[in-house]
Amino acid sequence: MSPQPPPTSVYNVTFPEPGIMLVTINRPSQMNSIPMSGHLEGQTLFEWFDDEPSLIVAIVTGAGPKAFCAGGDLKQQRDSPYGASPQQQQPMAPSGVAGLSRRTGKKPVIAAVNGFAFGGGAEICLNCDMVIAARQAIFALPEVRRGLYAGAGGLSRVVRVCGLQVASELALTGRRISADEAHGLGFVNVVTDTVEEMMAKAMALARQIAAQSPDAVLVTRSGLRESLACGSVEEASQRTEQRYSRALMTSENLRIGLEAFAAKKQPRWVPSRL
């Protein structure tokens, strides 16, 4: 029996294999832009994902042949009355575009980029744990061309990924870059020739992650994220150790992993309790 995610009008949620959640942004006629309500829906969905013990890794992609995600729905923002409530003036959820661009979370998310990833769509990719892109994908932070800035977490993250000078060029000009250029900048892990190959690669990567100890996946990701967020490498290591070391070293999954290694068998993991 599949897990039951919270209801959503923006995302199609499926569970293609054990431990894996596939989230498809399902607004192809709007370039998969996210309406105001969709940011909080995304946050609620990925909080549920973190709390659902049967799931280990998620993939996010876009519906249709053209777009991964064009960011927030600018037409909806344009049509909102100037005297709107604070909630309407600032529709973004605390965890950002689609609940992903500023997400901290516990479990890894893979972006499978099938087309345009503009604005908030690019910001989603910058905060995903891994990015697989079809060669037709195009990335851009075009906010300066609309009188805005990449305020959903993208500016600080593009500097970390690409360095100050390259990040400045991308963010201050809004220049579009191909999937191959994004790969060269460290923005993308793998580029595939087709969308079908992209999804197959994303699923293969998710399958590899889902086969590991759920506890080890959580702790390893936490350590990586602490290193990104913290100025001191040693402080980042200490934070992860203080938060997880005792629980991990006494966990059921550690016992299972060690016994499987000794017996030369595949481990049969249990859901994480960390």
Determine the 3-state secondary structure of 74 from DSSP: helix
Q: Which amino acid is at 88?
A: Q
Report the b/e string of 236-268 with b at 16+ CB within 10 A. beebbeeebeeebeebebeebbeeeeeeeeebe
Beta bridge partners of 21: 58
Could you give the residue numbers annotated as active site?
Answer: 123, 143
What are the two backbone dihedrals, phi and then psi, of residue 272, each rounded to the nearest 5 degrees?
A: -70, 145
Determine the 3-state secondary structure of 270 from DSSP: coil
Name the nearest CA neighbour of 153 among 86, 63, 228: 228
Distance CA 126, CA 111 (A): 9
Beta bridge partners of 34: 72
Q: What tokens appear for 202 in the block?
A: 């994303």
